[in-house]
Structure 1
Amino acid sequence: MHYVRLLRPPTVEHGRSRALLKIALTITTDLGDAYLSPEEPVEFAVVGAYKNEDGRLTPVNLTQNATPRWRAGMRALKFDLQLPPHPISTIQIRPASRQLTALGTNNVYPVGGSRGLIMGVYADMPSDEEKPSLVCFRSLRLAGANQDPAAPVNALQVEEDFGDSIARHIWDGGVVTLSLIADLCLTGTSPSGPYPMPLLKSFLCQQYRELNILELGCGVGIVGIGLLRILKASGYDTNPRILMTDLPEAEERAQANVSRYLADSPPSEEENPEVKFESLDWQDGKVGVFGEKTQSKPWDLVVVSECTYNTDTLLALVQTLSAVHSHSAQKAEGAHSTKIFLATKPRHSSEREAFDMLADEGWAVDEKTVVPLPVLNGNSQSVEMYLLSKS
């Protein structure tokens, strides 16, 4: 998959007759290690939104008279667009062709199995008195959650930083993981025969008690917050509580996305929101040193997405997983078995060491699936997902 990335905040230049919106972007893979190189130029749409008299957002196509195009060999695209008289509050930049756009989870899985996709980007436009925002955001519609035309669109929104570095951005593994889980829990049907992970579906969607989920290496929080949204929308008797963890440098963006979720879905008990963040270094976790929030519960499921690419941290990660399992068994004061849901887009062969280490610690794979991830005019990739348990 490719991503539209804003290289800097969009700015407005005021002229004599009309204001100009100035945009600089690039289109890269999730790690920024390859630029989009299409066989034919890809046209892009920029859609602005302004508030009308009743406060509702009204969309307006800003590229009716000028169509930005990305061509093979480009590393950046800069262009200016005329703004309408109405003050624009938000812009969206995406491919003009919806067939090329990752608008929702159902575009990524299973439909995305046949074509490469590009994910668009959103940015808030400040007023003349405000400083430009330092973040942009992604929006991903959840499959099956908005089938009623009269119902509001249920979309996951996640902030990330400007620029094309890999830090504080969403990655392919998280997007594909959410897309498969949304298909499992929200659509109610399997378009390609039996569900690819029936044990995971049963575990997530047929709980009759509070389901405690711990995420390791959450990054900006797309998987943890997206999983919570999916489970809350599933209609099953599940009551999820999710704790996202990562190093301290991830806290600012993860907390911002928690706040964005809570503002959109305020908890019934303000003191006990359904999703939280806590710092956790695996060098501490591997010896059972956890923060107050991590120690507070026995964990039913530990989610790990796109964390096996760095072989230097694999041993600490695996030992932290086993330490969480031991903590949960002690906390539950009885028979309790923590499961692992692990998703990864393999980037090099040395990642396989993680599974040897897990086996050495007594973890066994209960089920596995591989989701194809085509790349537009590039070699197809895949995301592997595993459900593991410990004897």
Structure 2
Amino acid sequence: MHYIKLLRPPVVEFVRSERCLRLVLAITTDLGDSFFSPKDPVDLLVIGAYTTRKDRKEQLVPVVLTQKSAPKWKAGMRVLKLDLPLPPHPVETIQIRPANRQLTALGTTDIYPPTGQGLILAAFSDILLEKNATTPSVCFRSLRLPTPDNQTLQVEEDMGDSIARHIWDSGIATVSLLADMLLGAGNSPNERPMAALQQLLLQPRDHPLNILEVGCGIGTLGIGMARLLALGQHSKQLAARILMTDLPEAEERARANISRQAEALSQASAPSLDFESLDWEDGKDGVFGEQVQANAWDLIVVSDCTYNTDTLSPLVQTLSALHGHSAQQAAARPKVFLSTKSRHSSEREFWDLMAADGWSIQEEAGLPLPHIDGGGNPIELYLFEKKSREIK
């Protein structure tokens, strides 16, 4: 997949006596290590939106800002700068995406099931017009979920081209698979990958499903699971509990994204969703925060955390310590669900470390990742299990 990335905050300025919106963007892979290089130029569409009141209700009105001439992204480009005339109405948000709908990922069904076409994830940003307003440092992604009312999953990320506090391939692709798994009606369970994972998520139980995410980043996977479990909630199912964990520097963005789901998760039957700091250097020794310590976990999820080989050993040891904690807490045997995109061969050390620590693969699958030229590594999915030692 490729991503439209805002490299700087959008700025409203006067250009030749005309009020314009200045944008600086690029189209790259998730880590920004490769620029989009299409065979033919790709037209881009920038859509603004403003709020109006009609029939005592507020409505969002879209307006195309690229009507006069469509900006183009061409092979060899590394940055695209735009000056777009603004309408008289105060534009509050913008959406930037390919003009060709077939190239655009606007919903989870554009990503899974695989369509065989390359996709580019749109970028969204708020526009602040007030004087002395703080310039926004984040943009956000929005994906339609397969619901009758087209509910959307929104997560914000930092602007710029760093890899920290950004959306990554595995999280967005796995959420799209889970949307089909938990809400989709097109495929039978036998036709979907990861049937054992689906059964674990949906099986009736006498306690809330406790899910712990390690290395959550901005929270794409954990938040996506919470939203999807809420939408697919069966009347007899107890509300799930999802706790996302990462280093302290991830907390601000993760909590901001949790806040974005407040209305959607306001029902009593919706999963609870929270964040707690967890450093794997502590976790490997069984040192956990209050919330991790207070619960026995049914499922531990990990997404895009195998790229840094220096952290693989403490990660695996943390997973085993969490397994041991849950076994002592409630004789639970949590499974580990991993979604990852292999970036380099040295990552395979993770699987060796898992095997050496007593973990075995119960289920695995490959998830093709939409790519404009048919290339790119797939998302690898694994469900690990581990036998607990008998507790005396």
Aligned equivalent of 1:101 = 104
Deviations 1:159-197 (A, max 9, x none): 100101111101001111111111111113317962211
Cα distance in 1 between the residues matched to 2:203 and 2:109? 22
**CA RMSD of superposed structures (Å):** 1.8
Alpha-carbon spacing, 1:353–1:95, altered in 2? closer, same or farther (3 Å) = same
- Secondary structure at the counterpart of residue 339 of structure 2: strand
Unmatched 5+ stretches in structure 1? none
Out of 324, 327, 332, which is 1:326 matched to?
324
Percent of aligned positions that are identical: 55
Q: Matches of 2:272 and 2:369 in 1, distance apart?
A: 31
Q: Distance in 2 between matches of 1:56 and 1:293?
A: 40
Mapping of residues 38-77 of structure 1, within 5 Å: 38-53=38-53, 54-77=57-80
Distance 2:201 2:319 in 1: 19
Measured in 1, the distance between the counterparts of 2:188 and 2:14 equals 51
Q: Give distance in 1, aligned partners of 2:264 and 2:51.
A: 18
Query: How big is the shift at 1:253?
Result: 0.7
Name the residue aligned to 2:345.
349
Which residue, out of 115, 119, 122, partners 1:120? 122
Q: Distance in 2 between matches of 1:268 and 1:239?
A: 8
Give me the whole-angstrom Cα distance separating, in 2, the residues matched to 1:247 and 1:104: 30
Q: Is the partner of 2:343 in helix, strand or coil? A: coil
**How far apart are the structure 1 equivalents of 2:263 and 2:318?**
32
Q: 1:239 Cα shift?
A: 1.7
The correspondence of residues 194-343 of structure 1 with structure 2, limited to 5 A, is: 194-208=191-205, 209-236=207-234, 237-266=237-266, 268=268, 274-332=272-330, 335-343=331-339
The residue number in structure 2 matching 1:370 is 366
AA at the equivalent of 2:367: V
Q: How many residues align?
A: 380
Residue of structure 1 in register with 2:156 after alignment? 159
Helix, strand or coil: the match of 1:25?
Answer: strand
Deviation at 1:18, TM superposition (A): 3.8
Cα deviations by residue, 1:136-173 (Å, 9 ceiling, x for unpaired): 0001112x32xx3xx2x211100100101111101001
Counterparts of 2:293 and 2:267, CA distance in 1: 22
1:238 CA displacement = 4.8
Give the whole-Å Cα distance in 2 for the aligned partners of 1:19 and 1:10. Answer: 13
Deviation at 1:377, TM superposition (A): 2.9
Cα 1:35–1:3, aligned 2, differ >3 Å: closer, same or farther?
same
Counterpart amino acid of 1:170?
Answer: I
Residue number in structure 1 paired with 2:384: 388
- SS where residue 354 of structure 2 aligns? helix
- Partner AA of 1:62 in structure 2: L
Which consecutive aligned stretches of 4+ in structure 1 deviate over 6 angstroms post-superposition? none
Equivalents in 1 of 2:263, 2:289: separation in Å? 25
Distance in structure 2 (CA, Å) of the matches to 1:301 and 1:188: 25
Cα distance in 2, alignment partners of residues 64 and 381 from structure 1: 36
TM-score (norm: length of structure 1) = 0.93
Residue pair 2:48, 2:95 contacting (<8 A) in 1 also: yes
Structure 2 CA distance for aligned equivalents of residues 133 and 91 of structure 1: 13
Q: Which residue of 2 aligns with 1:358?
A: 354
Check the 8 A contact 2:230/2:265 in 1, yes or no: no
**2:166 paired residue number:** 169
Deviations 1:223-267 (A, max 9, x none): 000110011111332521111000111111111111111244336
**Residue of structure 1 aligned with 2:136, choices 124, 127, 133:** 133
Partner amino acid for 1:197?
Answer: M
Instruction: List per-residue Cα deviations over 1:54-80 (Å, max 9, x = no partner).
Output: 321111111111211000000000011
Q: Quick one: distance in 2 between partners of 1:305 and 1:375?
A: 20
Is it true that 1:110 corresponds to 2:108 in the alignment? no
- Provide the TM-score with structure 2 as the length reference: 0.93
My pick for the range that moved more, 167-176 or 232-241, is 232-241
Unaligned 5+ segments in structure 2 are 388-392
Structure 1 counterpart of 2:290, one-letter code:
E
Contact 1:308–1:354 (CA under 8 A) maintained in structure 2: yes
- Relative distance call for 1:10 and 1:104 in structure 2 (3 A) is same
State the Cα distance separating 1:132 from its structure 2 match.
Answer: 1.9
Alignment deviations for residues 46-105 of structure 1 (CA, whole Å, 9 cap, x no partner):
011100123211111111112110000000000111111111110000111111111111
Q: What SS does the corresponding residue of 1:210 show, helix, strand or coil?
A: coil
